[in-house]
């Protein structure tokens, strides 16, 4: 990567140690992903705020950065682990609150605006089309790319902070046209009547095409709340932080639609609901506002609750600034009068609610995924109206599948999810240009499922060193991408994502082999925290390493190699990683 003389000086420390460290991260990422230069950014959105996620390791890292680091562009903050003002009323322990407030102070010292929301675009940080950003928070990243037409990779929390301190980010991945090009056509032939339905669409598309930029057609342009739900679910269940929706998103017309793809019908939508349904007996929380609620959703809830009283705790979370407006116009008071709780600064995933609520109903597919992993909740995905019903009556109505759209595969009895062409979803020639910030190519050399699919040779396999180093351990092969936040318990190092092929297995000390990372951008901090706690993998080998895993490996000093034909590496065998080489030892 070419640096200007000024940038070279920053790397040498002319702007102090924090900017030097930040430049080291940015230059490492730029070199890894073949960026030609740094590009100035309009703003940064920083994930990695909750003490529940960062632990003491993350807190100390941030306080070290805050000693002399100051942001060089507007920067906003993701939700914290508690209401920063009313945390006592929320039942937050003193020790947690003390650490959480230190984290927020560290960010504030660096000049970050303490917005504490995953919807910065609702509180003034709303980028214009074509603007370059360094955003973490996967739902906001996807919303910015797809709905606003801005340009950001799915940054890990530390790489977004590094970019904020420098004011620039390496120009690769979704900053470039090639990675934004649609790669798979998705025809939706199911009615989508609620934000929860749009989240279910994100689940279906993310699972079916985790590595490709989808071009979606069929539904009429939806409300912004539905686009937010799709933007939240898609990268949670897949990895693609951009989509194009015909007739609705600004870049959908820039390219011809891909020739190959698949249909999402009623069956796929219902499968998504079923995947996020752990049963509804004994609901003890109804949660709305993931991503954080818009003013319209808050008003809608207030209208629906008029003259009624909830029987189950009902939370609606939003940015503090949005809730202040709701306080001013009386809608927050109306929700409280009905027994509901407006929640600022935090959410049911990043707050320490483990054991306090066990069964939650929510209209967020993303929320279901992370509430299971982060707070051990049993979940049920349901549309807004059914959530309301659950809060008012303490029980869930049985889910009634909507009627199939006329002429859809479901209506005609044909198989849903049929490929659009005989060749199925996508061709090799169309998959290029994804880049690490877009969608890591999970099927390029993806593991074939351990010993059964492995080819019995001993390597060595060569790739590209993301983080140089040497390690030995036993291979642990995942055929699917893994999220280090929400998918792994950092204390034990065990995979906790339900249904994941590695569920229940410990990563500690193993040579983890996987296609790529997925999910939350807090994963970088989670990996760093695991390294500090001794629960991290000894080394990570990927087909295509995404930014979140790369930054976590750099910070945690975990040897990491990508570009390896990981489908050839067998599970459960002693192996060594040295530099850019992986070798079996037996």
Site residues (vs ligand F3S, CB under 6 A): 78-79, 118, 139, 232, 290-292, 317, 347, 349-350, 366-367, 370
Minimum Å gap between C-beta 522 and ligand F3S is 9
Instruction: Tell me whether residue 350 or residue 440 sits nearer to ligand F3S (CB atom).
Output: 350
Minimum Å gap between C-beta 98 and ligand F3S is 22
Residues in the chain: 586
CA angle 248, 250, 256 (to 5 degrees): 90
- In angstroms, how far is the first alpha carbon of the chain from the final one? 39
Minimum Å gap between C-beta 480 and ligand F3S is 21
Minimum Å gap between C-beta 353 and ligand F3S is 12
Minimum Å gap between C-beta 64 and ligand F3S is 25
**Please, is 389 exposed, middle or buried when counting C-beta atoms within 10 Å of its C-beta (0-12, 13-18, 19+)?**
middle
Q: Report how far Cα 571 is from the mean position of its chain's Cα atoms.
A: 27
**Please, is 153 exposed, middle or buried when counting C-beta atoms within 10 Å of its C-beta (0-12, 13-18, 19+)?**
buried
**Secondary structure of 278-289 in the HEC alphabet?**
CCCCCCCEEEEC
Minimum Å gap between C-beta 297 and ligand F3S is 12
In angstroms, rounded to a whole number, what is the distance separating the alpha carbons of residues 13 and 6?
11
Q: Pairing relation of β-strands 511-514 and 470-477?
A: parallel
Which residues does 172 contact at the CB level (< 8 Å), separation at least 6?
A: 29, 30, 33, 34, 35, 153, 435, 436, 437
529: its two tokens: 């925290």
Task: Let me know: does 431 contact 446? Beta carbons within 8 Å.
Answer: no
Instruction: Tell me whether residue 19 or residue 298 sits nearer to ligand F3S (CB atom).
Output: 298
Minimum Å gap between C-beta 50 and ligand F3S is 9
User: Cis peptide before 417, with omega less than 30 degrees from 0?
Assistant: no
Ramachandran angles phi, psi of 258, nearest 5°: -60, 150
Instruction: Tell me whether residue 317 or residue 564 sits nearer to ligand F3S (CB atom).
Output: 317
Instruction: Tell me whether residue 340 or residue 567 sits nearer to ligand F3S (CB atom).
Output: 340
In angstroms, rounded to a whole number, what is the distance separating the alpha carbons of residues 83 and 100?
10
Instruction: Tell me whether residue 157 or residue 210 sits nearer to ligand F3S (CB atom).
Output: 157
Minimum Å gap between C-beta 360 and ligand F3S is 12
Report CA Rg, the chain: 23
Distances (CA, A) of 570 to 123, 449, 513, 545: 49, 8, 9, 19
Minimum Å gap between C-beta 550 and ligand F3S is 22
Q: Pairing relation of β-strands 168-170 and 244-245?
A: unpaired
DSSP annotation string for 396-445? PPPP-PPPPPTTSHHHHT--TT-BSSTT-S--GGGSTT-HHHH---TTSS
Instruction: Tell me whether residue 275 or residue 292 sits nearer to ligand F3S (CB atom).
Output: 292
Minimum Å gap between C-beta 315 and ligand F3S is 11
- List the beta bridge partners of residue 75: 44
């Amino acid at each position: 990567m070419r640096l200007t003389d000024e940038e070279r000086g920053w790397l040498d420390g002319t702007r102090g140690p924090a900017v030097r460290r930040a430049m080291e991260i940015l230059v490492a990422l730029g070199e890894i992903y073949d960026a030609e230069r740094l590009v100035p950014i309009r703003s940064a959105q920083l994930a990695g705020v909750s003490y529940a996620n960062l632990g003491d390791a993350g807190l100390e890292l941030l306080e070290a950065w805050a000693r002399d680091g100051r942001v060089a562009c507007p920067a906003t903050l993701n939700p914290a682990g508690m209401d920063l003002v009313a945390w006592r009323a929320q039942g937050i322990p003193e020790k947690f609150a003390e650490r959480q407030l230190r984290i927020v102070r560290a960010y504030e010292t660096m000049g970050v605006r303490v917005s504490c929301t995953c919807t910065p675009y609702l509180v003034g940080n709303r980028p214009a089309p074509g603007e370059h950003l360094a955003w973490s928070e996967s739902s906001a990243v996807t919303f910015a790319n797809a709905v606003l037409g801005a340009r950001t990779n799915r940054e890990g929390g530390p790489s977004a902070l590094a970019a904020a301190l420098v004011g620039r980010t390496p120009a690769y991945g979704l900053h470039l046209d090639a990675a934004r090009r649609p790669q798979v056509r998705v025809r939706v032939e199911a009615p989508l009547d609620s934000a929860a339905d749009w989240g279910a669409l994100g689940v279906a598309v993310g699972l079916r095409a985790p590595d490709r930029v989808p071009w979606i057609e069929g539904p009429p342009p939806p409300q912004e709340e539905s686009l937010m739900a799709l933007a939240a679910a898609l990268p949670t269940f897949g990895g693609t932080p951009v989509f194009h929706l015909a007739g609705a998103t600004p870049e959908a017309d820039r390219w011809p639609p891909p020739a190959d793809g698949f249909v999402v019908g009623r069956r796929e939508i219902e499968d998504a609901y079923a995947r996020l349904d752990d049963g509804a007996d004994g609901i003890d929380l109804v949660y709305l506002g993931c991503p954080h609620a818009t003013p319209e959703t808050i008003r809608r809830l207030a209208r629906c609750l008029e003259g009624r009283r909830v029987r189950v705790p009902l939370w609606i979370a939003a940015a503090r600034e949005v809730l202040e407006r709701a306080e001013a116009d009386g809608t927050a008071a109306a929700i409280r009068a009905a027994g509901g709780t407006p929640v600022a600064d935090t959410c049911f995933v990043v707050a320490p609610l483990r054991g306090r609520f066990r069964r939650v109903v929510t209209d967020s597919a993303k929320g279901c995924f992370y509430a299971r992993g982060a707070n051990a909740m049993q979940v049920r995905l349901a549309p807004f109206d059914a959530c309301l019903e659950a809060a008012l009556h303490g029980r869930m109505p049985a889910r009634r599948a909507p009627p199939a759209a006329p002429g859809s595969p479901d209506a005609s009895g044909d198989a849903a999810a049929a490929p659009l062409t005989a060749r199925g979803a996508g061709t090799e020639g169309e998959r290029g240009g994804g880049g690490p910030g877009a969608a890591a190519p999970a099927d390029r050399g993806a593991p074939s499922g351990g010993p059964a699919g492995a080819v019995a040779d001993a390597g060595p396999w060569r790739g590209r060193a993301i983080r140089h180093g040497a390690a030995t351990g036993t291979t642990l092969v995942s055929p699917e991408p893994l999220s280090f936040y929400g998918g792994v318990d950092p204390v034990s190092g065990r995979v906790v994502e339900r249904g994941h092929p590695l569920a229940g297995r410990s990563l500690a000390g193993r040579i983890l082999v996987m296609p790529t990372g997925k999910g939350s951008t807090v994963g970088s901090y989670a990996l760093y925290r695991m390294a500090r706690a001794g629960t991290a993998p000894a080394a990570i080998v990927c087909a295509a390493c995404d930014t979140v895993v790369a930054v976590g490996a750099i910070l945690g000093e975990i040897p990491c190699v990508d570009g390896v034909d990981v489908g050839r590496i067998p599970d459960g065998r002693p192996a060594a990683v040295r530099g850019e080489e992986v070798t079996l030892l037996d």
